[in-house]
Amino acid sequence: MKKPLLACSLLLSIFLTHALPPTSARYVRAQAASRSPGSKTLTLAGPRAPVHIRRDERGIPHIEAANEADLYFAQGYATAADRLWQMDLLRRTARGELAEIFGRPALEEDKRRRVYGFAALSEATVSRTTPATRAALENYARGVNAYIASRGGQDAPLPTEFQLIGYQPRPWRAADSLVIGKIFAEMLSTTWPTDISRAMLADLPPARRAQLLPETSTLDVIVVGSDNAPSPSKNRKKPAAKLPAAKTRASRLPSFDERGRVELLAEVERVETLTRSSLERVGLYMDGRAVSNNWVASGKRTASGKPLLANDPHLPASAPSIWHMAHLRAPGLHVAGVTAPGAPGIIIGHNEHIAWGMTNLDPDVQDLYLERFSADKKNFYETPTGLREAEVRREEIKVRKGLTDPSTETVKFDVTTTRHGPVILESEGKRYALRWTALDAERSEFDAFYLINRARDWNDFRAALGGYRGPTQNFVYADVAGHIGYYGAGRIPVRQSGDGSTPYDGATDAGEWTGFIPFDELPHVYDPPSGLIVTANSRVVGELRARRRRTTHARAPVPPHRRHKSTSVAGRQTARRRRLPPTVGRARDGGLARRAARGGNGHRLPSAHPQRRARRGACALVSLGQLRCVLQSHRGGASGGVAAEGVRDLRRVATRLFAGRARRSHDPYRRGRRAMDLGALRPDAFPAPARGRARRRAAVYD
């Protein structure tokens, strides 16, 4: 037999019916590819053997290859055929290169991403990935580039977006896949604006601040540990340990007058508005801190006797979706699920042995440092050992001149980096540097996903998570042997002092990171007696266990009614049995704002009734713009309380927060929910949307 030529056949079975345009094409289920009249054979430079891509009636690619290199090549080709414009938009957003195609309206967005330095970080991380992961990234990039090279002619034009804007996408690189992970990290772990808000509320009464910034709820669904003190005997129980409603300590920002505080809040609000518009464009902004949820039930709770795992990543509905479904098969690998456009392999899914899902654990992995720059020596700032020169790098951004003029001009600006990280905020001459786990050029999260795709049991799964370096996630697990488990994986910093909830003084070492919580000490559980694990971006570690490792949960707790709905579905209970009315946390509950505004004036807080606690717990941090109004009213109004204008502002913000939660879709098709039953995985198996009774049950907890 002759050696395979460099140019081999890539067999694509694409089944289009009628003469519909690509955006509305319909797909017909394939039989044997060689017998299907709609199949196509393409000869491309790259694969070493024939590769089969079959698309089902939903257009999902089922890819089968003789080796891994060809498998990832074909996945890159198929994903680019579906999502090339989305992939290019994601990488340009993360790299800070939008102004090159959109012009000056996108310049400020590009500057923010250039300050983070995502592009350089991704380039540096490629060399730190394992050889197997790097090969997967490079083969995937070759597949994307093969598709780009095949387009552009009269018979095979580029996607419409490229034609309208008038530019040719540049070749895909391995670093482009990694940089997309940075934009996910920005969406999932940005907490520094909350640190500023806490500092701004430092002079409010502790009870008022606790209501505006709640961190725990007695209705939290705990996965590891407990909030209750151990019983001294079998017949006598101590009362439940009292939960702190929020941090009572809040540091003040030094040397800030009232005008300076308002200016700082205005600058933070400007940055947040800019970030929101940028993330919304690519479908990654979560309105009202929309929460994900997942659960896994052991076989003793399912009709089949096998574990059942469900995962709702809960990103906002967008067209196209931020997820791309795929089914991959090669010797030693058989996996199906979803991935991000531009990422090889599967991020959430199942193979022949295990299934896994993810929600955001959301610890505080960002710290701000108020750096004291010298007035006499430019770019020098104070440290415990004296003045040190900051690193200054010059960024050059290409900016398109006009809609009809594709030529570009270059805008230059400087980025200042201290020992803590880049300076991301400046107001009234004060500069704040950011320390963030995502800015460390270490191993990529793709190393972990590469191993998870091939895991056969809990030990393999746990070993893979040991190298996970992405945003800290709640990983739930199930396998065909009947085991279930949970692991909170990711890097969580250990600080020399404090908890990072407010900005540190950069001139001292008080806020230095001394390391990270060891992997074995991260929260995890395997085969719990209850046979049930539920997470929903809420607190997962009990107060008693957390005292040893005090880690800030970066955002306000998830509305308790959502967590209980998740628990009800997983445990085959109903919302009616839990006696939680569907109106909990919705817009018409205007009394919450009034109670929050009155709490610091000596009025009694709401009673301990569970439904009222649920409504109170649903009140999250107000927006920075409204917070500024509340602060101004508080300082300018009657002593001891918030003025009438501040009360109205707070009421309006709370109502808007509730309305945002009430608007979320109940349709499991739109939310992309998938339930994975581990009975078996046929060659053409793929998790399908829930139907009938399962769909009605799934809708209960959204």
SS (H, E, C) 320-350: CCCCEEEEEEECCEEEEEEECCCCCCCCEEE
Classify 676 as helix, strand or coil: strand
pLDDT at 4 over 70: no
Residues 219-267 have pLDDT tens digits of: 778 898 877 766 554 444 444 334 333 343 445 555 567 788 888 999 9
Rounded mean pLDDT, 574-586: 29
- Predicted local distance difference test score (pLDDT) of residue 698: 31
Q: Name the nearest CA neighbour of 421 among 185, 199, 116, 112.
A: 116
Higher pLDDT: 254 or 325? It is: 325
Rounded mean pLDDT, 663-672: 33
**Given the DSSP bridges, would you call strands 324-330 and 386-389 parallel, antiparallel or unpaired?**
unpaired
- Predicted local distance difference test score (pLDDT) of residue 590: 33
Q: What are phi and psi of 341, to 5 degrees?
A: -55, 120
Cα distance between residue 108 and residue 96, in whole Å: 9
DSSP string over 26-71: -B---S-GGG-TT-EEEEEES-SS-EEEEE-TT--EEEE-SSHHHH
Rounded mean pLDDT, 6-30: 29
pLDDT at 657 over 80: no
pLDDT at 301 over 80: yes
Higher pLDDT: 167 or 234? It is: 167
Q: Average pLDDT of the chain?
A: 75
CB 211 within 8 A of CB 220: no
Contacting residues for 654 by C-beta, under 8 A, at least 6 apart:
590, 592, 593, 596, 619, 622
- Predicted local distance difference test score (pLDDT) of residue 419: 97
Rounded mean pLDDT, 320-324: 93
DSSP secondary structure letter of residue 224:
B
- Predicted local distance difference test score (pLDDT) of residue 337: 97
Higher pLDDT: 550 or 534? It is: 534
- Per-residue pLDDT band at 449 (split at 50, 70, 90): very high
- Predicted local distance difference test score (pLDDT) of residue 287: 66
- Predicted local distance difference test score (pLDDT) of residue 683: 37
- Predicted local distance difference test score (pLDDT) of residue 553: 53
Peptide bond connecting 239 to the previous residue in cis, omega within 30 degrees of 0: no
Cα distance between residue 424 and residue 504, in whole Å: 15
Rounded mean pLDDT, 323-337: 97
Rounded mean pLDDT, 329-340: 96
CA 109, 111, 116, 118 dihedral sign is positive
pLDDT at 327 over 70: yes
- Predicted local distance difference test score (pLDDT) of residue 222: 86
- Predicted local distance difference test score (pLDDT) of residue 89: 97
Higher pLDDT: 445 or 621? It is: 445
Higher pLDDT: 550 or 188? It is: 188
Helix ranges (H only) for 234-326 are 258-281
41-50, 191-200, 224-233, 392-401, range with the lowest pLDDT: 224-233
32-36, 56-60, 162-166, 453-457, range with the lowest pLDDT: 32-36
Residues listed for the chain: 702
pLDDT at 384 over 50: yes
Residues 89-111 have pLDDT tens digits of: 999 999 999 999 999 999 999 99
- Predicted local distance difference test score (pLDDT) of residue 37: 53
Cα distance between residue 619 and residue 656, in whole Å: 10
- Predicted local distance difference test score (pLDDT) of residue 544: 59
Tokens at 427, concatenated: 């107001």
- Per-residue pLDDT band at 208 (split at 50, 70, 90): confident
DSSP secondary structure letter of residue 288:
T
CB 521 within 8 A of CB 489: no
Cα distance between residue 600 and residue 590, in whole Å: 18
6-15, 46-55, 378-387, 492-501, range with the lowest pLDDT: 6-15
* Integer-rounded Cα radius of gyration of the chain: 26
**Nearest-10 Cα torsion for 373, 374, 380, 383:** -70
CB 467 within 8 A of CB 445: no
- Predicted local distance difference test score (pLDDT) of residue 442: 81
pLDDT at 185 over 90: yes
- Predicted local distance difference test score (pLDDT) of residue 619: 30
**Separation of CA 187 from chain center:** 5
Single pTM value for the model:
0.75
CB 390 within 8 A of CB 381: yes
Higher pLDDT: 70 or 220? It is: 70
Count CB atoms within 10 A of the CB of residue 23: 8
